[in-house]
Amino acid sequence: MAGLYLHVPFCARKCAYCDFASRPLADFPSLGTTVARFFQALEKELAALPPDFAPDTLYIGGGTPTALDAAQLGALLALVRRRVYCNGVREWTVEANPGTLDAAKAAALRRAGVNRVSLGVQSLDNAALARLGRLHTAAEARAGFDLLRAAGFDNISLDLMYALPGETTAQVLADLRGLLAWQPEHLSTYALALEPGTPLAAQHARGEFAEVPDEEQAEQYFAIRRELLAAGYEHYELSNFAQPGRVCRHNLNYWRGGDYHACGPAAHAHSGGQRTANVEKLEDYCRRSERGESPCAFEETLAPEAKARETLIIGLRLLKGVDLAAFQRQTGLDALALGGAALEQLVAQGLLAVDHERLRLTARALFISDRVFAELV
Ligand code: SF4
pLDDT average, residue stretch 128-152? 97
Decide: helix, strand or coil at residue 92.
strand
Q: Which fold has domain 2-254?
A: TIM Barrel (3.20.20)
CA gap 162, 7 in Å, rounded: 25
> pLDDT tier at 272 (50, 70, 90 boundaries)?
confident
Atom 5 (ligand 1) nearest CA: 14
Ligand 1 centroid vs 18 CA: distance in angstroms?
6
pTM: 0.96
Ligand 1 centroid vs 129 CA: distance in angstroms?
12
pLDDT average, residue stretch 72-97? 95
The answer to whether the CB of 321 falls within 8 A of the CB of 359 is yes
Q: For domain 305-376, is the CATH number 3.40.50.300?
A: no
The answer to whether the CB of 114 falls within 8 A of the CB of 157 is no
By CB atoms closer than 10 A (0-12, 13-18, 19+), residue 132 is buried
Mutation to probe ligand 1, out of 13, 15, 134, 198 (largest number of atoms < 8 A from CB): 15
- Alpha helices, DSSP H, located in the chain: 31-47, 70-83, 103-112, 126-131, 138-150, 169-180, 199-205, 214-230, 249-255, 282-290, 304-315, 324-331, 335-348, 369-376
The answer to whether the CB of 119 falls within 8 A of the CB of 158 is yes
For residue 78, the model assigns a pLDDT of 97
Mutation to probe ligand 1, out of 19, 64, 95, 280 (largest number of atoms < 8 A from CB): 64
pLDDT average, residue stretch 203-226? 97
Q: What is the DSSP string of 300-367?
A: EE--HHHHHHHHHHHHTTBTT-EEHHHHHHHHSS-HHHHHHHHHHHHHHTTSEEEETTEEEE-GGGGG
Closest CA to 225 of 162, 157, 164: 162
For residue 193, the model assigns a pLDDT of 96
Q: What is the pLDDT of residues 151-189, one digit of tens each?
A: 999 999 999 999 999 999 999 999 999 999 999 999 999
* Number of C-beta neighbours around residue 12 at 10 A: 18
Could you tell me the residue ranges of all domains in the chain?
2-254, 305-376
For residue 98, the model assigns a pLDDT of 97
For residue 356, the model assigns a pLDDT of 85
For residue 4, the model assigns a pLDDT of 97
Could you tell me if the CB of 138 is within 6 A of ligand 1? Answer: no
Round the average pLDDT of the chain to a whole number and report it: 96
For residue 33, the model assigns a pLDDT of 96
For residue 261, the model assigns a pLDDT of 96
| pLDDT > 70 fraction of the chain, expressed in percent and rounded | 100
For residue 1, the model assigns a pLDDT of 81
Residue 85 has pLDDT above 90, yes or no: no
Q: What is the pLDDT of residues 5-29, one digit of tens each?
A: 999 999 999 999 999 999 999 999 9
* Number of C-beta neighbours around residue 63 at 10 A: 24
Ligand 1 centroid vs 16 CA: distance in angstroms?
9
